[in-house]
Amino acid sequence: MIIAGCGPTGAILAAELRLHGVRVLVLEKETEPVSFVRIVGLHIRSLELMAMRGLLDRMLERGRRRPAGGFFAAIDKPAPQGLDSAHAYLLGIPQPVIERLLEEHATRLGAQVRRGCAVAGFEQDDEGVTVETADGELLRARHLVGCDGARSTVRKLLGVGFPGEPSRNDTLMGEMQVGVPPEEIAAKVAEISRTNRRFWLRPFGEGAYSVLVPAAGVADRAEPPTLEDFRQQLRAIAGTDFGVHSPRWLSRFGDATRLAERYRVGRVLLAGDAAHIHPPTGGQGLNLGVQDAFNLGWKLAAHVRGWAPDTLLDTYQSERHPVAADVLDNTRAQTELHSTDPGPQAVRRLLTELMDIDEVNRRLIEKITAIDIRYDFGDGPDLLGRRMRDIDVKQGRLYDLLRHGRGLLLDRTEHLTVGGWSDRVDHAADPTAALDAPCVLLRPDGHIAWIGDDQRDLNDHLSRWFGRSAG
């Protein structure tokens, strides 16, 4: 298996494949990991997935928790009470740290990462994919997955359409020192941010500030921004440049919104930003890509190992494409609510009022944090297709039982069995489990694939998700 790109999506996908013994080579065009210290946020569903694979404790040591509220269009509302998760918070963590932890996780499991090696071309046939690197080397693999970002070479070579809207509003973001007192900054930011939601200066530690400011009128977007660009925009909006100096890093991002028409063409697939891009409003981008990888990894491994049902790999697109479309829609809505025009500001005031209703606030937070997702597994109870929260079980915690990336039958009846699927599915018999159902069958990504107490019905669903019985 070859993966193009060793960002969070590519690293997690590599690790998921290695849990099933699939040989993995990750090609990363950059020679060194990202160095600038941008803080990224892991939302509830991503935290749950990290807990399933035993990664969360290491991340908690290096991140900072904050309440799971105030994400939607930065409307300042508290997190709803009683969110359905054992990890109902946001974890802010430096981007280099999370990328290092995930790459270490993949390599510890046996994935090979080759840096300074870019994909230049590929050809696929019925048996596999031949990948050509930028230095002319030819590599052969069963599949190729493009996790190579918004400007994905794999997607372009594959000829997959990437429809959507181009960027209309660019924003400058960076970290730098300031030359005025904190109270002066706080007063000016409070004044401006009442109407301009794309503006902030936030203390970052050691005297540094995170700076966000609209990029209108500055240099060509193809060129990296300069400190003078920041000074110019700060003066235009705030009347002062706050004496900014000594930048740690400077970047520019736009609000382009695009979704790949297809996630799979034959033996080549797309995941993460290679498949979808959107404005960073709500902090969903990294999370969406990581969740793609958890959905795809076990399915791709099943295909390679030879036990996948015929349609299993097709469910990657049918499940994840609608999720991405929904994220694109909610970021479009949030972006409109950041506008300073009278109409969007009126809608923002109305929504701010409506979010005082708990059900409205809860719905929006569940959407942003991806705990509202329900895959379409057919008719059945409301829990069918939803992710299972972490609960206490006789063996400890439920998520600990999913650490090896296998399926799991959580059985309160103590009468069922996974039979000939025991090489792919674990069985935990526990009549005391806090579960409003007799038994549930969990996929490796923690989604509920079956609910019931009938062995024959269970066997049908084991076949649907985990292939033929080995016995």
Query: Residue 351 falls within a domain, yes or no?
Result: yes
pTM of the model: 0.93
Same domain, 88 and 130: yes
**Predicted local distance difference test score (pLDDT) of residue 219:** 52
What amino acid occupies position 87? H
pLDDT digits (tens, 9 = 90+) for 204-256: 777 789 899 998 765 556 678 999 999 999 999 999 999 999 998 898 888 89
Same domain, 363 and 398: no
Sequence-ordered strand ranges (E) for 125-193: 129-133, 138-141, 144-146, 164-165, 171-177
Nearest to 370 by CA among 292, 263, 300: 292
Q: Tokens in use for 285? A: 């981008």
Same domain, 115 and 246: no
- Residue range 1-18: mean pLDDT, rounded: 98
**Residue 324 pLDDT level (bands cut at 50, 70, 90):** very high
* pLDDT higher than 80, residue 194: no
Q: Tokens in use for 306? A: 């030879």
Length reported for the chain = 471
Same domain, 93 and 227: no
- Residue 420: DSSP 8-state: G
Task: List C-alpha distances in Å: 143 to 10, 129, 130, 300, 337.
Answer: 14, 6, 9, 9, 41
Query: Residue 376 falls within a domain, yes or no?
Result: no
What percentage of the chain has pLDDT greater than the value 70?
A: 98
368, 314 contact by CB (below 8 A): no
- Residue range 192-200: mean pLDDT, rounded: 81
Same domain, 409 and 423: yes
| Rg from Cα positions in the chain | 23
- Residue range 80-109: mean pLDDT, rounded: 94
pLDDT digits (tens, 9 = 90+) for 358-369: 999 999 999 999
Same domain, 6 and 126: yes
Nearest to 395 by CA among 424, 431, 436, 420: 431
- Residue range 53-58: mean pLDDT, rounded: 97
CA angle 242, 246, 250 (to 5 degrees): 90
- Residue range 330-356: mean pLDDT, rounded: 93
pLDDT digits (tens, 9 = 90+) for 408-427: 999 999 999 999 999 999 99
**Predicted local distance difference test score (pLDDT) of residue 88:** 96
Q: Burial code of 123-137, b = ≥16 C-beta within 10 A, e = fewer? A: ebeeebbbbebeeee
- Residue 136: DSSP 8-state: S
Task: List C-alpha distances in Å: 412 to 99, 125, 439.
Answer: 39, 47, 6
- Residue 455: DSSP 8-state: H
**Predicted local distance difference test score (pLDDT) of residue 36:** 66
Q: Which residue has 């969360």 as its token pair?
A: 56
For residue 224, the domain's CATH number is 3.30.70.2450
Same domain, 156 and 23: yes
Give the whole-angstrom CA distance, residue 338 versus residue 154: 33
* pLDDT higher than 70, residue 200: yes
Same domain, 290 and 158: yes
For residue 408, the domain's CATH number is 3.40.30.120
Give the whole-angstrom CA distance, residue 271 versus residue 53: 20
Same domain, 422 and 437: yes
Give the whole-angstrom CA distance, residue 119 versus residue 97: 25
Same domain, 131 and 148: yes
85, 43 contact by CB (below 8 A): no
Same domain, 150 and 265: yes
Query: Residue 379 falls within a domain, yes or no?
Result: no
SS percent in the chain: helix, strand, coil, step 5: 35, 25, 40
**Predicted local distance difference test score (pLDDT) of residue 207:** 78
pLDDT digits (tens, 9 = 90+) for 423-436: 999 999 999 999 98
Range of the domain at 201: 171-253
92, 41 contact by CB (below 8 A): yes
| Across 191-200, 380-389, 397-406, 443-452, least confident range | 191-200
Write the DSSP assignment of 434-450 as a string of letters. Answer: --SSSEEEEPTTSBEEE
pLDDT digits (tens, 9 = 90+) for 246-301: 998 898 888 899 999 999 999 999 999 999 999 888 889 999 999 999 999 999 99
Give the H/E segment covering residue 201: strand 200-205
Give the whole-angstrom CA distance, residue 56 versus residue 45: 12
Same domain, 136 and 20: yes
Number of domains in the chain: 3
Q: How far from each other are the two terminal CA atoms of the chain, in whole angstroms?
A: 28
User: Please, what is the average pLDDT of the chain?
Assistant: 94
**Residue 37 pLDDT level (bands cut at 50, 70, 90):** low
